[in-house]
Each structure stands twice: as structure tokens, then as C-alpha cells.
Structure 1
């Protein structure tokens, strides 16, 4: 596969916006949009609604809530050991491939507490406790396990079982539109009525290949390090090697090799990009190791701090929040008059969406505030 053109930051930005449905809003059904995006990060339960509103025309929150209660999408620990909203099919197909990473990430936090604990026995005990199908909070499950393993403390036990050892789903009403509810867990297979797929005994890593193609469709062109940053897996080298002949290759301005699907959209760098309001922890930013295509290095910390950002000309140019029903935008630098007007117009649309058309209040602060 010959190495091809160098893609500049602006070219990568426009490709990202197109793949992320942020260049033009899409008419995709909600389920198809969740699948295309490879899921949405969802530890903040209402944020996926904002993410889909920014990407889909005529998005109705009830459609996503209906998919959750209808068990077509599910909230579960997956990529990067964070809670993601993914299609049920993807949750079942991808969960086993993520398990080793999930274990290692929990051990990275609780290794000392879990030292000497047989994780196989802990997993079996967790499954046995959940086998009755009754939803349980992490605290309830951890206290039951602590009767057998008192030393680690309930937090370490609960985190290991729920987010790593035993595939779980977080049940509605958690994650429903405008609903506040605690986390109640149930076995993923029990909730979905289907078993988690076993990993194929294939050294080419077919599940990894599927992840690679899905990632490139929604995030490419991208480097192996970007793929790793999105899913938390170790770069999927066997999958990349097996799929390499089907892919095209570019370089970025730093000289990194970028892989891509041959027919995926790579718009002209001068394609106009509309203002977009992103939710907290949006994967359009977090889904890369090199986030420079969409956010300046000086502001990189915003993406992991839970700040909602506003894209102007495709780049993070402001943060936003809701205060007393008003959308307040704080620019990260100077905005032109035209940009401020466009931000205010889109902010009014956000306010109307969040208030069921009861308020269109928006305030764009000056960059010095």
C-alpha cells in the first residue's frame, strides 16, 4: 500500500466533521447514527441527546429514549472503560474484545486493593449474584461480594465486577431524556436476550478489523495511536496488518501514517463548516490521540474536563453552559462579528431544544470575561 498525500490540519478537520455528521446534519435514523458513530460517550446521561441533536435533522429525544427502553441501544462500559451508549448489536459483538483492557484499567486504579484476589472466582461470584435478573446498584453488589472478600473494600470489588469482569447494562430510566435516575445494573445478556459473542480463534483479529473499519468510517483518516485513543485497545496491530491492503494511506504534517477507507469522504479543506455546539466528552474530540485537527493544544484540557465546546469554522472556539435557562457562550479567543452572530443564532436553537421551545435565551460573552 503506497504512502500518499500529506493531509494538512484543515483537510483532516473537514474529514472529521464529515464523518462525524457535523459538516452537514444527517437524515440517518437515530439507531443508524449511533451505529455509524461507534456509540456516544455517555457517562453524563443527557449528553448523547445533545450530540445527536447537533448531528441529525429533526432529532426527537423521544426516539433515543425509545431505543433505550426497547433494548436496541444500551448503556455499558466499553471503549476506554467509560460508559458508552452503543447499539445492542455492537455491545454484544465488541464486549469480549474489550475485556482484557477493561480489567487492566481497573487494576491500574485498584491493583493494591485487589492483590491476591482470584479474578476468575470474583467474576463467577458476581455472575451468580446477578443471575436472578434483579437489577442492583454497585453498592448492593459490592456489599454482597465483600462478605467473601472483605479486604479490598466494596468500591474496588464493585468497579472490577461491573465495569470489567461481568458484561453489564445500565437500565432505564438512567439515560432517558430529562430523567434523573441512579445506576442499576443487570447482566447484559439477560437484558438483551442474547449472549455476548465469543472471540473468534483467528490471529488476524476479525473483531479488531471490524472495529478498525468502523472507526475509520466515523473518524478517519487516522493513525493507529488515534484508534487506540478511541477504543483503549493496544492499537490492534494484527487487525491493521490484515486489513492494510484494503486501506489507503496518507501522512499528516507531523509525518505520522494515517489509514483510511478508500471511498470515505475527504472534503475540500475550504468547505464551509457551520457552527456546532458539542456536548461534554464528545468523541469528535476524545476519539483521537492527536486532537489538533479540532482543538488547539492550549485548550486540549477542556475536552477531558467535561466542558461543552462550540465549533466555529470546525474548531473549538468557545465553551458553553446553561444558566437559569440561558445558553451562555464563553469564547476562547476573539470572535469576528459574523462568527458571534452565527454562534448566537445556533445558541438560540440549542436553548429552544433544551427548553421544549419555551426559551431562546443566549448570551455570548466577550473573550476577556
Structure 2
């Protein structure tokens, strides 16, 4: 029976699992060289849009993502009760918009597909959209309100998790990076870190996001996870004259999404770049996002650019996560969520925690078992 577990990664997956496992009485140690919640989970916009963002070959992810989103209110309520921190969870739906004829045809095709799979939405013309969002440009031609989608303040949630882990007595090693999961006889016995330290353990959980491939498990090939870089722009809501821009819904177009957080910050993202772990900003990609944002809210010209966020999406070969135990007993995966990490966190964390504790997870997690890639 697992009593002690070491977790590689302190993002929403690693800290979320630590929260649930420590609450169940396990001794938990979290390793993250950047510190808890300081990498991709922090760079995210906190979008919870499994219906608006789903692609036509991702019905399994839609089912999984919708169930996960339905779990978010309970997660937020629990952390609010345990820490007193509110995470600004909102579910007014997502506006999917077209600003030219090509986009209109693409969205109409997407809506027909959503209708076939019984996703609820309201088709809207330009006037309907501007009644919902008066600050949007007259370039917006049509779109739809996808019901059920929403957003959360991911940075507040990460802070709340950090606070709760401290109160639960979880050990947080901010300058530590697990590089090896040691196995003997096909079972985990220890983890080793980049500075040469060795920690005996009953189990290891790899939740290191795009860095998961760098954690080697004895006897197994590297985890098939690579980074896909995303750059996101954060604007202040008010121009120099105090004129504010307000967005009541998350906005999604084929080329950009917009989300306004509780403090007024407007986020515009995100690029999709195969550039490894490169942290330098790419002005060409940012220009394209700024241009698309300007089509939707021309007043962005006058808004202050407050931050450029860079994150690295953990991506597998089939764009599905790795959830569950590897062929090495006690070596678990909770990674590979690509662009859906925040959205899929509750269902992913709870499924893997259930497995670690010997419980049966929901059936919709079974296709994401790591064994589909890992052969001994």
C-alpha cells in the first residue's frame, strides 16, 4: 500500500494531486525547480471551454473535458472553504465569433457538427453579439454562444493550492527536479534528483508537464511528451483616459481567444509554436495575435500591454493525456494535456488519485492509460 509518494512537477496537476493525496493521509513531497505554480499553469488564461475548443476528431476529449468542467465548482468550493481564497469561477458560456466570410463558413460547419453531437448553443448574428458584448467591433459578422463553457482565475487557484498544501504539511522542494524514477524488480523504490539526491519512496507521480520526458523511469522509454510553446498577451482594461473595455464572456475565434479576468486584465492568446523550450518572445507570432485582437476590439491600440506570458504545453503524439500507472508498479503519470490542462485538471487528478488509492476511476479515463505508448 502506498504511504509515501514523490511528485515531479508543481503545476496544477502536481499540486492538485498532492492536495488530494495528502488529504487522504499520504506523505507527499512535491519537486519543482521553478517553484509551485510558476510555469505553464500560471501562464494559462484559465479557459474552461471543452465545447468551444473541441476539434472534430476529439469527441472523447469533449466527453472527458465536459465532465471535468462540471467538477470545477466543487474544487473551487472546497479550496475556498479550506483557504478562504476565491478563484473567480464563471460559466456564462463562450462566444465563438467570425470576423470574415471564411471564418463564418468555418464556424457554421463547426456548429453543424456540435448540433449533431447535442452540444447546446445559440446561433447569433452581429447585432445579437454586440448586444451581449457592446465593446466588440462591428467587423464581427456572426457566431454562437456555446452554453456551459467558462473560465477560472488559474493564478488564484494555484495560490490557493499552495496555501492548502502548506497547511496539510506537504513538503514542497522548490529547487529540486526529479530526473530518475528508480525501480527494482519492476517496482518503484526511490527517486533521484538533478543535484544527486536520492529519496526512498513507495511511488512516484510524473506531473511535470512539458518537462515530463526528462524524468526517466528505469526500464521504460522516455515519456512521449514534447513542449508546444504558447505566447499570450495581457492588457490592462483601461486606456490612459480611464476608458474601460469590458468582456462579459470568453471569446473564441479561429485565430485568437480573449478572456477578461476579475481584476480587469484582458488576455489574448495563444500562439502554437514548435520551438522547444525557447523563452525569447517571437515578435512575428505576437504581431499576428495583436492584429487578430485588434479586429475584435480596436481599442486595444490604447490599452497598456502589461505582460507577455510564455508557457509550454505538454503534448503527446495523439494529443491525449497520459493518466495512470506505467508498466513499472508505483510509477504514475499525470501529464500530456496539451492545451487543456486547466480544463481537464479535476477529472485527471481525481482519476489518477483514485487509481493510486486503489479505487476505480470513471471509464472515460481508460483510453488515456500510458501503456498505449510505453512498452518494456
With the shorter chain as reference, the TM-score category is under 0.3
Structure richer in helix, relative to its length: 1
Q: Which has the higher contact order (CA 8 A, sep 6+)?
A: 2
TM-score, normalised with respect to structure 2: 0.27
Structure richer in strand, relative to its length: 2
TM-score, normalised with respect to structure 1: 0.27
